[in-house]
A = this chain, B = another copy of it.
Amino acid sequence: MSVVNEKLKLENIRSALIRQEDTIVFDFLERAQFPVNEKVYKEGSEGCLNLQQTDKSFLEFLLHEEEKLYSLVRRYASPEEYPFTSDLPEPILPDFKKPFPLHRNEVNVNAEIYDYYVKEIVPKICANGNDSDNFGSTAVSDIRCLQSLSRRIHYGKFVAEAKFLANPEKYKKLIEARDSEGIINAIVDPVQEGRVLQRLHYKALTYGRDSADPTKPTDKINADTVVSIYKEYVIPMTKKVEIDYLLNRLKD
């Protein structure tokens, strides 16, 4: 019998997801220091980059440059990391020696995550306005938020793979019938989902607390907003990843 990869043990997947909640809350708190700074997201002369050699927004430019560097050091060879941009260079480091724990797949929902992040999350967690001193810090913070959201959402692949391996016959039937609803009902545990949202509320409140008066939650970030972002976006997108991954699970 083959040994199950450590990363596919449900217990380890659960700890990874819980730990990633902390990172997302920290990253949101860091981003929430700065106002919306919409010029960071606008292209061309409306934006703050406005270079002749590119029509990208400042964030698009910085994200692509960061990802070129990360790709060089093999970030996207990891089953946990997915790029937002394309035209990335080959790694200069040799391949990982460990076996790839997932079924090979092309699932990448980062284009949608980017869009939702800029249009929905930024205006919800940041104050209105522009603060030209901090365009750089804003974009750096954005990249962290995007990466931690992307890692969390694509971690659905690990959940899906673990569930598949635990009961291949059941999932094969659902996959062959292209039964997305059946797949998601088989994977999801609503009790667990409720716990995630409760935990997030606690984390947003605790990590955003003012040390001057610990009894008073501050408005560094609104805990209900963080919960609603998870409920309305992160969890549904994770399900989308799980379905897309499994619908392609039987291909070579």
Point out residues on A near B: beta carbons under 8 Å: 18-19, 22-23, 26, 29-30, 33, 48-49, 51, 58, 61-62, 65-66, 69-70, 72-75, 78, 92-93, 96-98, 132-133, 136, 139, 199, 202-203, 206-207, 209, 211-212, 214
Contacts and interface: CB of A to CB of B under 8 A. Distances in A.
Nearest to A26: B26
Nearest to A16: B33
A82 to B, nearest CB: 14
**Interface SS of A by simple majority:** helix
Q: For the complex formed by this chain, how many copies does it contain in all?
A: 2
A19 B61 CA distance: 28
A203 to B, nearest CB: 6
B199 A203 contact: no
A214 B93 CA distance: 41
The list of the 8 closest CB pairs from A to B, nearest first, reads A26-B26, A199-B211, A202-B211, A65-B69, A207-B207, A75-B136, A73-B136, A203-B211
Nearest to A53: B92
A202 B155 CA distance: 32
B98 A133 contact: yes
B203 A206 contact: no
18 contacts: A23-B30, A26-B29, A26-B30, A26-B207, A48-B93, A58-B73, A62-B69, A62-B73, A66-B69, A69-B69, A70-B136, A73-B139, A75-B136, A78-B133, A96-B133, A202-B214, A203-B211, A206-B214
